[in-house]
Amino acid sequence: MRDPIHLLKDIDLTQARILELLELATQLKIAKKQGTERARLSRNNIALIFEKPSTRTRSAFEVAAQDQGAGVTYVDPASSHMGVSESVEDTARVLGRLYDGIAFRGFQQATVETLARYAGVPVWNALTDLWHPTQALADMLTMREHAGKPLTEVSVCYLGDGHNNVARSLLMTGALLGLDVRIAAPAVLHPDPAAVEAAAHAATRSGGHIMATDDIDSAVRGADFLYTDVWVSMGEPDSEWDARVEALRPFRIDANMLARTGNPKTQFLHCLPSVHDDTTTLGRHLHEQYGLNGVEVSDDVFRSPRSLVFEQAENRMHTIKAVLAMSLDPADRRTEGC
Ligand code: CP
Ligand code: NVA
């Protein structure tokens, strides 16, 4: 029996594996749109264990699995024993006997790694405190579709909390694929030095470039894409907001920030969810508290023709489907009839 093909963190990936996933996702996307997709995973069942809320990732796993004929069980924290009265190891051993693969979203990277160690089936990281690898795959596919040039010629500048999961995954996956990835953030919110070092090493091999800086103008100059994420991530205390707003205000993406790239074709990316207006409880609260209507991005940029956020969201599903196929379908059949 072959070893399970997990997706735990971007740093484990190779350039060849990412390109294979993007190609497979593209073929599966075309097949779905043409109505020619063939269900390859009909004898499979997957479990989604989510300790944190999700709109896109959960839906993407569910639709991807269902399109491919697989059964899905969603397990929320309140309805399982994991971590409360049953260890992660025991949970992994049990679910591994029932399911063909397990997606996990939660607070600690260590949990997804433990699941992978003991489940005996593929485990996929659906977001942890450190990494969000399925997001980065969708980001790469979206840039590849919309850049009008090869990814090795693309520059993307992420502005905001550069220390979070989305920034780390973007940096690492971008570096592996040879992109020019810039993280613009105050020094206290730069990615971990170890992540920067690993990305720099990958960029040396791929021909890419990486940069982590607090100098906004040098980071955004000429960028093909500006990317941002929420300023306080799930699992972080609300008390962080005061310091984050103060530190990150200069990094907010608005029309002026787009203009500062000097590139009239710069496009906008966001993993979502986004605080871009005051139609949500959080948006209203932050508007009242800090006078920001639209926090990490202004509403006009979010809704502008330069914004690719909903294309990105759709691509979560196509790329996750590729991940499921890569792990669960034998390699020689994967693209047959796509
Ligand atoms: N981008 C993302 O992971 O969205 P969800 O939190 O809705 O899954
Ligand atoms: N950095 C965000 C991403 C949400 C998709 C978080 O972890 O909450």
Q: Where does the pLDDT of residue 77 fall: very low under 50, low under 70, confident under 90, or very high at 90 and above?
A: confident
Same domain, 97 and 191: no
173 lines ligand 2 (CB under 6 A): no
Give 265's DSSP letter.
T
Q: Is residue 3 part of a domain?
A: no
Task: Give the position, in ligand 1's atom list, of the atom nearest the Cα of 234.
Answer: 6
Nearest CA to ligand 2 atom 1: 233
Region 142-167 average pLDDT: 98
Contacts for 66 with CB less than 8 Å, ≥ 6 apart:
72
333 Cα: distance to centroid of ligand 1 (angstroms): 30
CA of 337 to the centre of ligand 2 (A): 35
Say if residue 201's pLDDT is above 70.
Answer: yes
Average pLDDT over residues 110-139: 98
The sign of the CA dihedral 27, 31, 32, 37 is negative
Q: Which residue in 132, 144, 163, 190 is the catalytic one? A: 132
**What pLDDT was estimated at residue 338?**
53
In this predicted structure, what is the pLDDT of residue 76?
85
My answer on whether 321 and 294 are in the same domain is no
Q: Which atom of ligand 1 is nearest to the CA of 60?
A: 8
Residue 274, in any domain of the structure: yes
Indicate if ligand 2 lies below 6 Å from the C-beta of 167.
no
Task: State yes or no: pLDDT of 256 exceeds 90.
Answer: yes
Q: Which ligand is nearest to the CA of 282?
A: 2
Does 229 contact ligand 2 (Cβ within 6 A)?
yes
* Number of structural domains in the chain: 2
Asked if residue 143 is part of any domain, the answer here is no
Q: Which atom of ligand 1 is nearest to the CA of 55?
A: 7
Tell me the ligand closest to 136's alpha carbon: 1
Query: Residues lining ligand 1, judged by CB closer than 6 Å?
Result: 54-57, 127, 135, 271-273
Q: pLDDT band at residue 1, thresholds of 50, 70 and 90?
A: low
Å from CA of 291 to ligand 1 middle: 26
Torsion, Cα of 97, 127, 70, 17 (10° steps): -100
**β-strand pairing of 267-270 with 225-228:** parallel
Asked whether residue 171 is assigned to any structural domain, the reply reads yes
DSSP-assigned states of every residue in 75-125: E-GGG--BTTTB-HHHHHHHHHHH-SEEEEE-S-HHHHHHHHHHHSS-EEE
Q: Are residues 178 and 198 in the same domain?
A: yes
- Residue 103: beta bridge partners? 48, 124
Ligand 1: distance of its center to the CA of 232 in Å?
A: 14
Cis geometry, peptide bond prior to residue 273 (ω within 30 degrees of 0) = yes
Dig out the tokens for 151 from the structure: 């990814």
Is residue 252 assigned to a domain? yes
Distances (CA, A) of 157 to 41, 114, 147, 223: 37, 33, 14, 6
Domain identity same for 115 and 154: no
Is 157 in the same domain as 51? no
**Do 171 and 110 sit in the same domain of this protein?**
no
From the list 10, 180, 229, 278, the catalytic residue is: 229
The DSSP secondary-structure symbol of 306 reads T
Q: What pLDDT does 293 receive?
A: 93
Alpha-helical (H) ranges within the chain are 15-34, 56-67, 88-98, 109-119, 133-146, 165-177, 193-206, 216-220, 241-248, 255-260, 281-290, 299-302, 309-328
Q: Are residues 123 and 156 in the same domain?
A: no
Q: Are 109 and 130 in contact (CB under 8 A)?
A: yes
Does residue 204 sit in the same domain as residue 284?
A: yes
Provide the pLDDT for residue 336.
55
State whether 286 and 153 are in the same domain.
yes
Q: What are the C-alpha distances in Å from 331 to residues 5, 20, 53, 324?
A: 11, 11, 33, 12
The pLDDT of residue 333: 54
Ligand 2 center to 169 CA (angstroms):
11
Residue 282 belongs to a domain = yes
Task: Pick the ligand that lies closest to the CA of residue 158.
Answer: 2
pLDDT at 259 over 80: yes
The mean pLDDT value of the chain amounts to 96
Residues 225-255 pLDDT 10s: 999 999 999 999 999 999 999 999 999 999 9
Owner of token pair 């300790």: 51
The pLDDT of residue 79 is 83
Q: From CA 199, how far away is CA 195, in angstroms rounded?
A: 6
Q: Does 177 lie in the same domain as 57?
A: no
Counting atoms of ligand 1 from 1, which one is nearest the CA of 134? 3
337, pLDDT greater than 90: no
Percentage of the chain exceeding pLDDT 70: 97
pLDDT band at 82 (very low <50, low <70, confident <90, very high): confident
User: Is residue 230 within 6 Å of ligand 2 at its C-beta?
Assistant: yes
Alpha-carbon span 338 to 316, nearest angstrom: 18
**Which domain covers residue 245, as residue numbers?**
148-223+225-262+267-305
Does residue 139 fall inside a structural domain? no
334: pLDDT strictly greater than 80: no
Residue 256 lies in a domain: yes
Whether residue 127 is found in the same domain as residue 156:
no
Supply the CATH number for residue 179's domain. Answer: 3.40.50.1370
pLDDT of residue 331: 62
Residues 45-53 have a mean pLDDT of 97
pLDDT digits (tens, 9 = 90+) for 274-333: 999 999 999 999 999 999 999 999 999 999 999 999 999 999 999 999 999 999 986 655
Residues 67 and 16 in one domain: yes
Question: What is the token pair recorded at 92?
Answer: 């992994």
For position 330, what pLDDT does the model report?
67
Quick one: which ligand is closest to 126's CA? 1
**Residue among 51, 165, 274 to mutate when testing ligand 2 (max atoms within 8 A of CB):** 165
